[in-house]
Chains A and B, each alone.
Chain A
């Protein structure tokens, strides 16, 4: 036995060493290729996004417009074209990329910390809370800024309640947390029904419904800038901490035995993901599916290691959201809402992905 034990490692060492360098080189470069390819795709779609819509502007022109902000380029386009591209399409394009990427990231972290590939960033009730907050602001006839603020605080309050329940009943397992998320989610839906019931049917109800379906159409730089830090800062922090997600996904006991203080680490991911989702929802209304589907796509292509998967998921999320937004403003004469297309495209797409990875999800 001892002999065979001594021999075995020696054998695999000679066979393994060459494999080692070759394989890890391939691995690294696969990641780099995916990043390069998807970033290129994102730039192309970015250019298309500036060009298409009700008022069409040639792709080349819109790109030159962008460049003219930093380089001295002769204006060959009309002022109306410039206004459409710079003031309307550029902010919504940037918002779509950031929101898509951030929601995908938040979804991926939730899927790891709750050890469940079927959860989305709404799990702890942040979206439904934000909806209630926004609807309340609409009900009180407040302006855009107050609706944003209402959505943001509503989302935070909902998650705060969800995370307090397990502490009150002294059972801090992930299951109890998820269950209280479900409870708070349906409580928020009920409150939402009450608000819809008392809302003025001609003006307020339409606005609430409209808001619930999500859109980038209203986004302007002025309203977007104050919210961006609450999205971008947590995104950076999650990216930096992303390796911990691997360990958390193994389960509470294993994570702890590998030296991770569960409560702090899980709490940080929940806070960051909540800030991201609340920030996104208050800019664009509720957007489903991205946070659920995109991590699956990224995993399918690059594997489960969050070290590689999260950066890929961010870029994919940006691409997905931007494509959906472009479709929203081109498919029909009147602009569609995001909620309609994410569902119509997302559902069959998700089934396709599940079929591809059926062996991975048990």
Chain B
């Protein structure tokens, strides 16, 4: 198992509990989609796995080793984190931005080598965005920035990729393209965990689904079994049904 989460609980300093006793595991080539309403703590959970927040209880094992006992740098060689699309303060070029993925492999007193730039260039090529290389990151579109973020995380050469709402702020087409890329990354053997607000993305990815409810309890199952009308209606407080579509060859969600 690349990542194993055991009895993970998190609460804020004021004692407010966000989630309790969370258990799941993700292995090579698997995708786990975390669903939940606004404010349910999806991102908090993701940040705990990303080593950004300290859980109150429980532990995260990376390849069987407790993450809390590992160096930050060593964790970064296993876990790559894709934050929500954002605007950095400074205008780095796409290439300068992508090569920052090499940071966990670069010594404190050195700068990226030719080899590091080469790895970054290969990632840009794999994302099909070599043409953006010398453009300024702050001046390209949101969809392109998401592709650059993915290129950076590939440059990091992790085993597990965490994505915080990778489809947020993207247009309909780009949302679908990002989901396709995540499928492809899973096919290449990466383990992936992502948060999303769109249950259909979880259905398309057809991997594991974790649903974080308002009580802070996480239920995990296979997307095909878990994402039925009852569960979704309960989760979002709406009347939702799933219909099988012959062209898409999968269920689609309809609110009625």
Residues of chain A from 167 to 210 with CB closer than 8 A to chain B in the complex: none
Contact with A along B58-75 (1 / 0, CB 8 A): 000000000000001111
Alpha-carbon separation in the docked complex, A246 to B134 (Å): 17
A interface residues, how many (CB within 8 angstroms): 45
B72 near A259 with CB under 8 A, answer: yes
Q: Which of B109, B138, B139 has the most CB of A within 10 A?
A: B109
B125 near A13 with CB under 8 A, answer: yes
Which residue of B is nearest A239, CB measured? Answer: B109
Of the candidates A9, A242, A359, the one whose C-beta lies within 8 Å of that of B111 is A242
Q: Tell me the minimal C-beta distance from B97 to chain A in angstroms.
A: 9
Is A244's beta carbon under 8 Å from chain B?
Answer: yes
Is B218's beta carbon under 8 Å from chain A?
Answer: no
B131 near A243 with CB under 8 A, answer: no
A258 near B91 with CB under 8 A, answer: no
A305 near B96 with CB under 8 A, answer: yes
Given contact pairs A257-B52, A258-B101, A260-B103, A240 touches B131 in the complex (Cβ within 8 A): no
A307 near B73 with CB under 8 A, answer: no
Contact with A along B127-148 (1 / 0, CB 8 A): 1111101100011000000000
Given contact pairs A115-B89, A253-B47, A303-B93, A241 touches B108 in the complex (Cβ within 8 A): yes
Which residue of A is nearest B152, CB measured? Answer: A258
A246 near B126 with CB under 8 A, answer: no
Is B221's beta carbon under 8 Å from chain A?
Answer: no
Given contact pairs A240-B109, A243-B111, A5 touches B180 in the complex (Cβ within 8 A): yes
Alpha-carbon separation in the docked complex, A243 to B112 (Å): 8
Is A348's beta carbon under 8 Å from chain B?
Answer: no
Q: Tell me the minimal C-beta distance from A131 to chain B in angstroms.
A: 29
A12 near B130 with CB under 8 A, answer: yes
Q: Tell me the minimal C-beta distance from A257 to chain B in angstroms.
A: 4
Of the candidates B50, B79, B92, the one whose C-beta lies within 8 Å of that of A305 is B92
Given A247-B100, A258-B101: 6 more A-B contacts, CB < 8 Å: A20-B130, A250-B88, A253-B47, A259-B74, A259-B104, A265-B108
